[in-house]
Chain A
């Protein structure tokens, strides 16, 4: 279970936790744009330090952040291999001969890969900080508030937020259900770990089919319960939870914009 929830919200009393979810989402978007600019190593170092400060303020252990990198490992190695095979520029680092084939590794291959990896890691760090310091419900509420102006161009802000929050609400229930069905199928002799590919596929099918049918029934019953309690997606509603910007949110947004401006300067002016 631990693997699935590396970015899970941890309730702590820190200034980062106390920030308005809208400010956090906006700041994240601004910094993500900044990361996409070709600002060079100096720029990324700067962003890294800024995120590091936020991580320290949020009292998140760096160990946890490292754990968030793990699922990306495979992709990074894959990227490295692709780059080594395709990039043929820069100084030659290694040059050797395998069974008569000439094989060269260029410095740019390593450099380009690192360049992408560093950006990826920064992005993972930011999103992890966001999800670890913000209640899922606050996140969806933040998304809803931020999307509300786009209603004029028919973005269904409330529906999107409701969908996300129901999905978040039912993730633990569905994981529990998956375990239950898996155990039931195991006790009937279905093997999820070993066996031939065809056996594995049929094992997965034996899991997915009941999971789907139960989930559809759940959805139906949930819709009934919501309707019975007066819910109409397009109806007028008030909101129990209200969001309010505070001074610290302005500081955060100011910081994020400062980073973006700096990256623009580094990328295009200098």
Chain B
């Protein structure tokens, strides 16, 4: 019996939005709508690839992808189906804007439970928009499962998962038994594969499982209670740059002046 792997994904604002185009909306709390397209988050792509590789190797039997978002996230779920994830679940949280990591983790953990039979939860190390980097751990906490962070590759060997992770001094190999949560970081070997066009076309017709927070036993009040923090204001940092030319008669003099200036500016 292979594993049932659940991949937690998030659709984010295209991280390549040109700086010149980045704007904040009127609330001052989030990026303006429509400044760029949305994409499947970068680390979620790696997470999905790790899960698909387990499936290729015969270790996983089923890969489910879950996201908590508005209807627009169906796009990313379809992307996952196009690379042959088996099931896609959208917990439609429209109407609950600006969920924080604690709320998101609660929703996703409940979705994993409702899905049933999940042995391994794979999440990106952090989402490409807010970079909180908390959801994976909070889900593990909430499910009461161990968590291995910054994983690059996973292999199943006789019921034990061998996880290669990015440690402080290089690669570490950790062995763990499911059930388990892992957060994934990028590596040259977990770049998300490209979809075959036939699969891409088929993914448009595949069903998406749709749940609401209420289906997971969470009403608006319960959700609000879970909030751990609030964004007060989002701001585009202003960067000023000045350029000063150091002149001098010969390189030695220029160097001496440069050192003096750097000392004055307390940079040396």
The reply to whether chain A is a binding partner of chain B is: no
